[in-house]
Chain A
Amino acid sequence: MGNKTDVWQGTLALMILKTLESMGAQHGYGIARRIEQISGDQLQVNYGTLYPALLKLEQEGYVDSDWGVSDNNRRARYYRLTRAGKQQVKKETRDWEQATAILARFLSPEGPA
């Protein structure tokens, strides 16, 4: 467990959005666990990065939040994707794919042509 990496800046927002897209409304703990799971426990999401990121997404209008009750009857704040958020997932996914594709060419054994 000692060699977990912190999420690097800029990618967390997309991970959160993607998580909410696939799971529907979710609380902060659930989002963190899910991201850690998907990363194969290679990433660690702590409060100090998760909650400011969620707040920022909320301020930008991509997610919405409400207090609800969790599986084990605990009051928790649930985040869910807004319509603008759904579009933002598509857009960011596209951008990200494009960026990685470009980077991949640089990193390929043949090198940039």
Chain B
Amino acid sequence: MGALRAILIRITGTFGGRRRRAAMEEEFRAHLQMDYEENRRRGMSPEEARRMALMNSGGLTMATENVREQSGLPFLETLFHDLRYGWRTLRATPGFTIVAVLTLALGIGANTAIFSVINAVLLSPLPFRDQDRLVQLWETESAPGSYPFAGPDYIDWEVQSKTLEATAAYNYPNAMNASNGADAQPVIGCPVEASFFNVIGVSPMMGRTFTKEENQSAKSRVAVITYGFWQKFYGGSSDVLSKKLTLDGEAYDIIGVMPKALNFPSRTQVYLPKDMTTTGMRTRGQHWFRAIGKLKPGETVASAQAELSTIAANLEKQYPDSNEKVGAKVIALREQITGSSRESLLVLLGAVALVLLVACFNVANLLLARATGRLREIALRGVLGASRWRIIRQLLTESVLLSLMGAMLGLFGAWWCVNLIQNATFLPVPRTNPIALDATVLLFTAVVSVLVGIVFGLAPALQASRLDLGEELKSVAQSVLSPTGWNRRVRDLLVVGEIALSLALLTGAGLLIRSFQKMRAAETGVQAENVLTFATLLPHERYKNTPEQRAFFDQLQDRLSHSPGITGAAVATEIPLEGGNNGYIAIDGDPDPTHTNLLVEHNYVTPGYFAALGIPFIAGRNFSEQDLDYAANATERIIKLNEKDPNEKTPPDIQFTVIVSKKMADTFWPKEDSIGKSYHSPHSTTPYRVIGVVGDVSTWGVRQQSLPQTYHPFTMALGDSRAWGQVVVHSTLPPATLLSTVRNQLRQIDSSLAMIQPRTMQQVISENVQDAAVQTWLLGSFAALALLLAAVGLYSVLSYLVTQRTREIGIRMALGAQQNHVLKLVMGHAGTLTAMGIVAGVIGSLLLTRFLQSLLFGVTGRDPLTLAAVVAVLALVALIACYVPVRRAMKVDPLVALRYE
């Protein structure tokens, strides 16, 4: 107890020494005076009394020193002394200090910023209670991949599972029309089962969440809103629970507000009670819903997987029609959310760590150059009795001080970056945790900067420890400061390392740039120029049936296509690149059994769709008005029949027309003309007859292969519940300028409808490769930074070389050497270093780029073109770095040079 207290007091005692010393001296004087007076009383003469008193004291200087040692911690005191000394030294060479601190700030700042993202995405636990027990549940089908749930399957799993403590079904978040007075705005709503909030263990910060009863009706008009939505739409007002929210024309009571930390499923703004009734859950075979679960304590992902697979196998036996080949898949929720970004984030962390290493090498290089100038000082300190360890410690303190200064500056930069990316949508990573400079990140920065300080401080410190004091002082006497061979070799090696590392980074960046180019040039199958797209959603209460819905879309298309500048307008359920619905098909008499396992994409379009997106017709014809009318009527008939009896078979006279993609035609009818051929869905006999073949389109993204695709008359997608339409507008004007025209037309037809996600088709494409764009941009900047640092390193080594050899060059020139000899001398050295760096860098690149493989598109990690380009860039930059030193060497005046002696 007492000992601990003493240490604390001694730590604080290390500071404020001056006042303490004054008090101590006064105390000693008092002591001395009392002794003197006592001696006088005993009858001594004044001189004798003073002499005795001083003798008793036992040496005042030693006493002062002893007290000082006891009052503070000598270790700390040395540290502060070293820091003060280091600070003075750094201030004495501001040029060096500024360059070094900036270099380190860039390196450490970039690392901090990237680490803050990694910390939020990969390291921090999900902000849910017992997050390590949460799992995402999927179904599997005959085609590879994970698929959403069929409602009745989910209910069976929920009831039968013994490994899961609780489960919750929810829908994919989707857009709704929110009217907040005058104008309609899109809002992202997510219907969830009441248990959703219990499973993730997040309680509302105000009000309540849903009850089980609210899930048992399609008409529960209650809503739980997110913190962000509360702030944005209600200004965070405290009486929000008494307010109503109008969604798709229906008034909802706001019953709860969720805390700020909740952002799951991502983008959700409003939670609604999911319709868990038999109708709401639809039928087996209709895979629509998502589900999460919570493992019972002691259960694992594997044990749940085993159990659910058994349950799924039983369902398969029980319902062979709908559940054939339907299995189960369990995956940890954390893995589900962060898994896809892990690889690219780790690549970025690796790259930014390499940049920091280059920065370290560079500062070590600068320090070594400076250390040579300081050899005299260090030697002198050694001669005056400073131990080798003491000198190393002093130099390391100085370099750690330097890196801490860099870290401080770097933190400012990182803070700015984090502010920028905190809410930005351009960085496509999961945002379940907010990106922030929290304690973990600060700790990371602190540890990194101390390590960095030691790493780059090591070289000069080691050099100091190798000093031969006698030799150094002799050379001082000769006033020639010769760098030891060791110093020069280490500096050369550092530059080679810098060149090699930047080459590796450049290769990575080059590969990403090349694959990004390929992505942008990849054939999407559509002509994206001058195309604007947005979505509308017709609430079921206002647009109850096919005729009403069709009338709306007809009117919208009509008004739009007659607006100035617009050359075509169409409606579809899906637009290219953003995925869609799919299913299996069957062809009577098809000899190839693998066809039944192929997923076919479905899109429902109006006839103008192909022209608006520039999708070419290869064979056959487009949909006619008759096709649309027929499909509308037939669909209405089927809906009515199903309303009476869900198991009613589709009347045999119904036959739909369909347009297929080239890929679809080539896959299913490889050797014959597909026009006029029919297929049907695996569980129905209703034929779909092919009337046309169109060009292929990337359905699931630029990087995905195009899939077999069918196009149906848009009117088939109407009638049932809410009608969803993606509007595609083709124009002769830049599409962005059309936005207000289009918005006005929509408002004039129905002002309660929001214009959802208005974008140009070009934007749709760039959003699709946004992640690649960000990776390319970041890795490119890191590589540029490393290249710059390497160039500075090469420049400084060469400049130094020229300074060192000025005399030699002078003598050579005096003896008649030509300028090109001098040129050879300097360029030869630069060339050797660059060549060594390039060889090491190429080997390093070949080893490192395999970590990049999964991020590449259309190029391999060993792309010779990229490698050649990168080597050329590096050689060019090295040449530029040589320019100034070489010019100085050439201009050496033999007379001036020899006068150095």
Determine whether A97 belongs to the interface, using a CB cutoff of 8 Å to chain B: no
Contact B2 A62 (CB under 8 A): yes
Contact A47 B31 (CB under 8 A): yes
Beyond A47-B31, A47-B57, whether A59 also contacts B67 by CB under 8 A is no
Of A14-22, A50-58, A100-108, which binds chain B?
A50-58
Determine whether A94 belongs to the interface, using a CB cutoff of 8 Å to chain B: no
Contact A60 B2 (CB under 8 A): yes
Beyond A27-B30, A28-B31, A61-B5, whether A48 also contacts B58 by CB under 8 A is yes
If over half of B's interface residues share one DSSP class (helix, strand or loop), that class is named, otherwise mixed; here it is helix
Within 8 A of A (CB), among B35-71: 35, 37-38, 56-60, 62-63, 66-67, 69-71
Within 8 A of A (CB), among B211-266: none
Determine whether B284 belongs to the interface, using a CB cutoff of 8 Å to chain A: no
A76 — which chain B residues lie within 8 A by C-beta? Answer: 27, 30-31, 34
Residue in A51, A62, A70, A74 whose beta carbon sits within 8 Å of that of B66 in the complex: A51
Cα A62 to Cα B6 in complex, Å, equals 11
| B 1-32 binary contact with A (CB < 8 Å = 1; else 0) | 01101100110010000000001101110110
Nearest-Cβ distance from residue B440 to partner chain A, whole angstroms: 35
A84 — which chain B residues lie within 8 A by C-beta? Answer: 2
Beyond A47-B28, A52-B69, whether A59 also contacts B9 by CB under 8 A is yes
| A 27-54 binary contact with B (CB < 8 Å = 1; else 0) | 1110011000000000010111101100
Contact A29 B63 (CB under 8 A): no
Nearest-Cβ distance from residue B4 to partner chain A, whole angstroms: 9
Determine whether B33 belongs to the interface, using a CB cutoff of 8 Å to chain A: yes
Contact A52 B2 (CB under 8 A): no
Beyond A47-B63, A52-B66, A77-B30, whether A29 also contacts B35 by CB under 8 A is yes
Determine whether A72 belongs to the interface, using a CB cutoff of 8 Å to chain B: yes
- Find the A residue at minimum CB distance from B28: A47
Nearest-Cβ distance from residue B61 to partner chain A, whole angstroms: 9
Contact A56 B69 (CB under 8 A): no
B30 — which chain A residues lie within 8 A by C-beta? Answer: 27-29, 70, 74-77
Residue in B33, B34, B58, B71 whose beta carbon sits within 8 Å of that of A47 in the complex: B58
B70 — which chain A residues lie within 8 A by C-beta? Answer: 52, 55-56, 59
Contact B57 A77 (CB under 8 A): no
Cα A21 to Cα B528 in complex, Å, equals 95
Beyond A48-B58, A48-B59, whether A29 also contacts B3 by CB under 8 A is no
| B 630-647 binary contact with A (CB < 8 Å = 1; else 0) | 000000000000000000
Report the contact-size class of chain A (Cβ under 8 Å from the partner).
20 to 34
Residue in B5, B9, B26, B67 whose beta carbon sits within 8 Å of that of A52 in the complex: B67
Cα A27 to Cα B35 in complex, Å, equals 12
- Find the B residue at minimum CB distance from A65: B27
B33 — which chain A residues lie within 8 A by C-beta? Answer: 74
Cα A17 to Cα B37 in complex, Å, equals 26
B5 — which chain A residues lie within 8 A by C-beta? Answer: 59-61
B35 — which chain A residues lie within 8 A by C-beta? Answer: 29
Cα A76 to Cα B26 in complex, Å, equals 8
Cα A109 to Cα B23 in complex, Å, equals 51
- Find the B residue at minimum CB distance from A53: B70
Beyond A59-B5, A59-B9, A70-B34, whether A48 also contacts B27 by CB under 8 A is no
A77 — which chain B residues lie within 8 A by C-beta? Answer: 23, 27, 30
Cα A68 to Cα B27 in complex, Å, equals 11
Contact A44 B56 (CB under 8 A): yes
A49 — which chain B residues lie within 8 A by C-beta? Answer: 58, 66
A-B pairs with beta carbons under 8 Å apart, 23 shown: A27-B34, A29-B30, A29-B34, A32-B31, A44-B56, A44-B58, A46-B57, A46-B59, A46-B63, A47-B31, A47-B58, A48-B62, A48-B66, A52-B66, A55-B70, A55-B71, A56-B6, A59-B10, A61-B5, A72-B37, A76-B27, A77-B23, A88-B2
User: Apart from A48-B66, A61-B5, A77-B27, what are 13 other A-B pairs with CB-CB below 8 Å?
Assistant: A27-B30, A28-B27, A44-B56, A44-B58, A51-B63, A51-B66, A55-B67, A56-B6, A59-B10, A60-B3, A60-B5, A74-B33, A76-B30
User: 10 closest Cβ contacts across the A-B interface?
Assistant: A46-B58, A60-B2, A47-B63, A59-B6, A48-B63, A52-B70, A29-B34, A59-B9, A52-B66, A76-B30
